[in-house]
Amino acid sequence: MAPATMASTFALSDQQIRTIASKRVFFGHKSVGANILEGVRDLMAADSRLKLKLVTSGDPSSVQGPALIESEVGENGIPSSKNAAFAAALSKGMGTQGGIAMYKYCYVDVTDSTDVPRLFEEYRRGIESLVVEHPNVRIIHITVPLTTVEPATKAWVKGVLGRHTARAANIKRNEFNRLLKQTYPADSIFDLAEVESTLPDGSRSYFSSGTDRIYTLAEEYTTDGGHLNELGRKAAAERLLTLLANI
């Protein structure tokens, strides 16, 4: 089905929109995060009721009043740098109002060679410290984004040749996401990976590994296998705003 024919069922009530507009949110990200924010702008352009204050700043305390404050954090391929950059941004404070804060890893931060339990434990310990240090900040957790994958036969050949495969990397990303969802309440998780793998008709993009379903980025949502196109970024933005409306 062509993206242009895929209908959206997204709708926010006036009260939900007022709720979102009343919040202070800090979002640390890299390129897929920028795609999601572009999706938010798409939704604002399509719905005149949705008037959000979008501000780019690594110092959320410098922004007055309700706003969606966004900034790039860390370096791709070095997830510990993102942990540190997010903590540094929050150390400047969210202002007396407090607010909501979240950051995400990129798909390149979790590869087929990643020690997922170690990475998740580092993330979990960091979040524990932030919760203690910033009691007036609600932390939202974000699942690791996915990529599309090569056909099974091509992945098999790559494996025989000792080459990296997108399938193996997505197995690791699914593992991290399972740990995240087992550890934190559903209402504190922005499940980006679920959005990326779920088409508007409710079907999922996945492959099987043993008895496990390994979810992948739907090809309809991307032009390069990792970043989100207009359809994908809109789906992710819709899920994010819905989550914020219900916090």
pLDDT (tens digit per residue) in 46-56:
999 999 999 99
Q: Report the percentage of the chain scoring pLDDT > 70.
A: 90
CB of 216 closer than 8 Å to CB of 195: no
User: What average pLDDT does this structure show over 209-238?
Assistant: 97
Please indicate whether residue 191 or residue 7 has the higher confidence score (pLDDT): 191
115 assigned to some structural domain: yes
Three-state DSSP at 103 gives: strand
pTM of the shown model: 0.91
Dihedral angle at the C-alpha atoms of 132, 133, 134, 140, nearest 10 degrees? -60
**Residues of the chain by 3-state class (helix, strand, coil), percent to 5:** 50, 15, 35
Compute and round to an integer the Cα radius of gyration of the chain.
Answer: 18
CATH of the domain at 195: 3.40.50.1110
Question: Is residue 122 situated within a structural domain?
Answer: yes
Mean pLDDT of 55-69: 94
| pLDDT at res. 10 | 74
Asked whether residue 2 is assigned to any structural domain, the reply reads no
Domain count, the chain: 1
Question: Is position 216 within any domain?
Answer: yes
Positive/negative CA dihedral, 91, 92, 97, 100: negative
Q: What is the mean pLDDT of the chain?
A: 91
- The predicted pLDDT at position 159 comes to 59
Amino acid at 181: K
Element (H, E) at 102: strand 99-103
Q: In one letter, which amino acid is 142?
A: I
- The parent domain of residue 231 ranges over 9-245
Asked whether residue 196 is assigned to any structural domain, the reply reads yes
| Counts of helices then strands in the chain (DSSP H, E) | 8, 8
pLDDT over 60 at 23, yes or no: yes
Cα–Cα distances in angstroms (integers) from residue 18 to residues 50, 101, 184, 241, in the given order: 9, 19, 27, 12
Whether 28 is in a domain gets the answer yes
Does residue 3 lie within any of the structural domains?
no
Q: What is the pLDDT of residue 197?
A: 98
Tokens of 157: 């050949």
pLDDT band at 148 (very low <50, low <70, confident <90, very high): very high
Q: Give the per-residue pLDDT at 5.
A: 35
Q: Is residue 4 part of a domain?
A: no
Residue 208 has pLDDT above 80, yes or no: yes
Does 8 have pLDDT greater than 60?
no
3-state secondary structure of 64: coil
Q: pLDDT tens digits for 114-128?
A: 999 999 999 999 999
